[in-house]
Amino acid sequence: MKKVMAIVMAAALGLSVAACGIGNRSFAMSGGNIADLQPEQMMAEIAAIVGVAPDDIFVPVDGLFSLSTSGDFDWHHSQTITMMFERETWRGRHTYTSQLQIWPHEREFFVTQPSRSPRQRRHRMQDFLDALRHIPQEHILGMVDQPADHFMLDLIPSGIAITERDQVFYNKDGVIDEMPGAYILFALAPMYGYDGDYRGTGYDTIFLFYEIG
């Protein structure tokens, strides 16, 4: 009886580990610039790793991470994007978070093991990746008074910019004239090197409104 129970428990453990994913959790990057992101391909890879459909993977809206790029919008060091999804377990349906780690020097992405998390406000992950990929880089570089050493990019829940100087509306086709109805909003801060540290002025943040849809 004990032997049968041990076999059953081992099988259950195996199923549990398989559900969390124990295979290859990394996949290749297509390039070192945010414009090189391939959202559809990336979502297919991520979905296969975490075991849910691509459209069921999200990013939390409320500031769990920031992204940093070079002044040319290259990934200049490792970054982390927080992801969120729901999954059925034997205890019911639960929300999980995982991280998409960006390793530019290794030219690969890595998906961490998920952990339980409270449900939060969120954007669809593919929309978020599209928003990054289509940031109008030349337009933004033309708005900056002096070349930035880095850019700090924060996802923020909502807001509206006041002047044309500090706002950009855009979609997959480029800059648009009107504020979108549904959007993903970034705060983009140019960063400059001072005595081995990098700081922003606080006055030249640009708000990026990406049109969803």
Q: What is the pLDDT along the chain (213 residues), one digit of tens a residue?
A: 444 444 333 333 333 333 444 458 999 999 999 999 999 999 999 999 999 999 999 999 876 678 999 999 999 999 999 999 988 777 778 899 999 999 999 999 999 999 987 777 789 999 999 999 999 999 999 988 888 889 999 998 876 656 666 899 999 999 999 888 899 999 999 988 765 555 555 668 899 999 998
Structure tokens at 157: 């829940």
Residue range of the domain that includes 151: 24-211
CA 112 – CA 97 distance, rounded (Å): 9
Structure tokens at 77: 């060091």
CA 37 – CA 132 distance, rounded (Å): 8
Q: What's residue 197's pLDDT?
A: 59
Looking at the chain, how many residues does it have?
A: 213
Whether residue 75 is contained in a domain is answered as: yes
For 115, residues 6+ apart whose C-beta sits below 8 A from its C-beta are 96, 97, 98
Whether residue 101 is contained in a domain is answered as: yes
Whether residue 40 is contained in a domain is answered as: yes
Whether residue 106 is contained in a domain is answered as: yes
Q: What's residue 22's pLDDT?
A: 45
Whether residue 6 is contained in a domain is answered as: no
Whether residue 125 is contained in a domain is answered as: yes
Q: What's residue 23's pLDDT?
A: 59
Q: Which DSSP state fits 71? A: T
**Collapsed DSSP state (helix, strand, coil) of residue 44:** helix
Contact 43, 54 (CB under 8 A): yes
Whether residue 19 is contained in a domain is answered as: no
Whether residue 15 is contained in a domain is answered as: no
- Identify which of 149, 163, 141 has the alpha carbon closest to the alpha carbon of residue 198: 149
Q: How many domains does the chain have?
A: 1
